[in-house]
Amino acid sequence: MKPFSMTMPMVKGASVSDKSLKTVMELLEKGTSELRSRAYLFIEKVKTADDNPSRIQNLQAGFTILKLRFNSILDQLDIFADVLSQRSEHDVGVWLSGLDVLAEDGLSIVKAFSETPSLMVYLDRGHGAAIRRARTRLPGGDENPVAVIQIPRERMVGSGIASSLIHEVGHQAVALLDLIPSLKKDLIKIQQQRKGTVAWKYFERCISEIIADVWSVGQLGICATLGLMGVVTLPRYFQFRLDLTDPHPAPYVRVQLTCAFGKKIFPHAQWDKIWKLWKTFYHLEGLKNETLQVLYDLEKEMDSFVDLVLNHSTAEMKGKRLIELFPVMERKPENLKKLYHLWKGKKASLNTMSPTLVFALMGQAKFDFAINAPEESEVLSRQLRQWAFTRK
């Protein structure tokens, strides 16, 4: 296998970070070197083997293990090749490099508490985004050295892509902060105290997806909710599927939750407005009584749940509550509106702002009808290129 640096045609602005490429190459080179050594040892064993049946069986078992290891290394190669091969596509490669920078910015909060991994973004088919987190196991059992984030091509439209991307970054962040186990422990405790309600069982089942949405809202404001609405705009049948075996909340509940968290983090009437809009799309009339009861139960307990999550802390967070990790003052709607007008008046530059702030700014402007879709697309495309060309 040749090094990626010798096989991947891409302009410098489209490449992944030097750190990402270095860690991936070290992983693959270590695996191939070990496999080569084991293969030579196996060949020597074959040369000196006798006709003993048990010896032959042992050799066959050894060969099988070598073959499986070979295939696992090829699987690893393909995982990262999918990421890197797109970097040669015209425009797409540079945009992906810019999205790498956005993803890294979405994880930067965690740097005060933990060493953060490199992140690599690529496009693929499918409706939803996904992440292969760093420090999880790759095929063959090796530890993944970088986080690989898959974004659907259809999300490459306007500021909505940031919602999906920072949601996936959130999965990596909460793992580094060890939030899920401690939150689940508290939620199970409340379940035991309030046995007459299904809400807390539902919250506990879906907490991994809910907390990733919170991570997105906490950094992007209304931009996260607008982007989420784009993802979960589905037929009515799917809106109210309250499946306790699925870690994803029902789309209707998911939008309700993101509005509830947004309103608590950034108090403003806009959250009630957007939730009222969503309810006009999907009426409750005609739903089964048991479904309605669960929805009413969730709504009744939602405020307490939101407070619990935002005020939660872990040992890794060094005394900080979750809400204190987010740039709350900077992302308040009124401050985003002011900053947008400063930018429009050429008194502020997007190049001096963090990537998540730029997307929060554009998402707020879109909600306020201060910017139209073509202009938003042009601005964000330009910024993605800028981040790609200036990244280290």
Please indicate, yes or no, whether residues 221 and 84 belong to a single structural domain of this protein: no
Please indicate, yes or no, whether residues 34 and 115 belong to a single structural domain of this protein: yes
Least confidently predicted of 16-25, 198-207, 315-324? 16-25
Please indicate, yes or no, whether residues 274 and 316 belong to a single structural domain of this protein: yes
Please indicate, yes or no, whether residues 143 and 258 belong to a single structural domain of this protein: no
Dist CA 159 CA 156 (whole Å): 8
Angle between helical axes of 92-107 and 355-367 (0-180°, round to 10): 100
Residue at 165 is within a domain:
no
Please indicate, yes or no, whether residues 140 and 185 belong to a single structural domain of this protein: no
Give yes or no for residue 8 having a pLDDT over 70: no
Give yes or no for residue 5 having a pLDDT over 70: no
Handedness of CA 50, 56, 60, 65 (dihedral sign): negative
Tally of structural domains, the chain: 2
Average pLDDT score over residue span 19-47: 81
Query: Which tens digits make up the pLDDT trace of 243-274?
Result: 888 889 999 999 999 999 999 999 999 999 99
Please indicate, yes or no, whether residues 94 and 216 belong to a single structural domain of this protein: no
Query: Which tens digits make up the pLDDT trace of 123-133?
Result: 877 667 899 99
Domain endpoint, select from 266, 296, 325: 325
Least confidently predicted of 124-128, 194-198, 215-219? 124-128
Residue at 298 is within a domain:
yes
Dist CA 385 CA 96 (whole Å): 9
Please indicate, yes or no, whether residues 220 and 297 belong to a single structural domain of this protein: yes
Give yes or no for residue 10 having a pLDDT over 60: no
Q: What is the pTM of this model?
A: 0.84
Average pLDDT, the chain: 88
Could you tell me which residue, 158 or 163, shows the higher pLDDT?
163
Domain endpoint, select from 275, 301, 325: 325
Please indicate, yes or no, whether residues 148 and 194 belong to a single structural domain of this protein: no
What is the signed CA dihedral for 133, 138, 139, 141, rounded to 10 degrees? -140
Residue at 370 is within a domain:
no
Domain endpoint, select from 153, 188, 214: 153
Please indicate, yes or no, whether residues 187 and 125 belong to a single structural domain of this protein: no
Query: Which tens digits make up the pLDDT trace of 283-319?
Result: 999 999 999 999 999 999 999 999 999 999 999 999 9
What is the signed CA dihedral for 339, 384, 146, 15, rounded to 10 degrees? -150
Please indicate, yes or no, whether residues 115 and 186 belong to a single structural domain of this protein: no
Dist CA 230 CA 224 (whole Å): 10
Dist CA 121 CA 116 (whole Å): 16
Dist CA 163 CA 161 (whole Å): 5
Give yes or no for residue 195 having a pLDDT over 90: no
Q: Are strands 146-152 and 118-124 parallel, antiparallel or unpaired?
A: parallel
Residue at 225 is within a domain:
yes
Residue at 166 is within a domain:
no
Please indicate, yes or no, whether residues 67 and 197 belong to a single structural domain of this protein: no
- pLDDT computed for residue 12 by the predictor: 53
Residue at 302 is within a domain:
yes
* Residues 125, 153 contacting (CB under 8 angstroms): yes
Burial class (CB in 10 A: 0-12, 13-18, 19+), 318: exposed
What are the backbone angles phi and psi of residue 246, rounded to the nearest 5°? -105, 125
Residue at 343 is within a domain:
no
Residue at 119 is within a domain:
yes
Average pLDDT score over residue span 32-46: 85
Domain membership of residue 78 as a residue range: 4-153
